[in-house]
Amino acid sequence: MTRRVTLVAAIVGAFFALAMIRVVLEARSEFSDGEEELAKHDLDRAITHYRRAIQWYLPANPYVERAVGRLVELAQRAESTGNGALALRAWRDLRGALYSVRSFYQPYSEQIRAAERRIAKLM
């Protein structure tokens, strides 16, 4: 009986480990795609990839945190250069991606509030 429980626990643990690895790898892929688009100055596509990276949320996933930072950076840069439409899109995508994250708490709640303030100002 103990061997069966151990085997089942190992299988379940392996399943969760593989799922977590996939989430991190998908977030990394989307973040990398965003970086490539940013390097090509295709800001619309970069924003899309950063949003997708955030949607692969897992606590302590470094690519989610980097994508949040990039979207904030892009939105602020667009505002400072007078590109209100791009800034509004970046803030909205950031807010939407963060609201789509499911957890027992609301991750990045401060960034959501900041995005909502910026969206309200740009509207």
- Read off the pLDDT of each residue in 5-12 and give the average, rounded to a whole number: 89
**pLDDT tens digit sequence for 22-50:** 999 999 999 999 999 999 999 999 999 99
Residues 6 or more apart whose Cβ sits within 8 Å of residue 26: 56
Compute the distance between CA of residue 11 and CA of residue 41 in angstroms, rounded to an integer: 45
How many Å apart are CA 18 and CA 102, to the nearest integer?
19
Position 8 scores a pLDDT of: 86
Backbone angles phi, psi at 6, to 5 degrees: -65, -45
Residue 71, Cβ neighbours under 10 Å: how many? 28
pLDDT greater than 90 at residue 1: no
Instruction: Write down the pLDDT at residue 104.
Output: 84
Query: What are the tens digits of pLDDT across the range 50-105?
Result: 999 999 999 989 999 999 999 999 999 999 999 999 999 999 999 999 999 988 88
Tokens 């990398």 belong to residue: 32
* pLDDT value, residue 38: 96
pLDDT at 7 over 90: no
Q: How long is the chain? A: 123
- pTM as predicted: 0.89
Question: For 56-70, b where at least 16 C-beta lie within 10 A, e where not — what string?
Answer: bbbeebebbbbbbeb
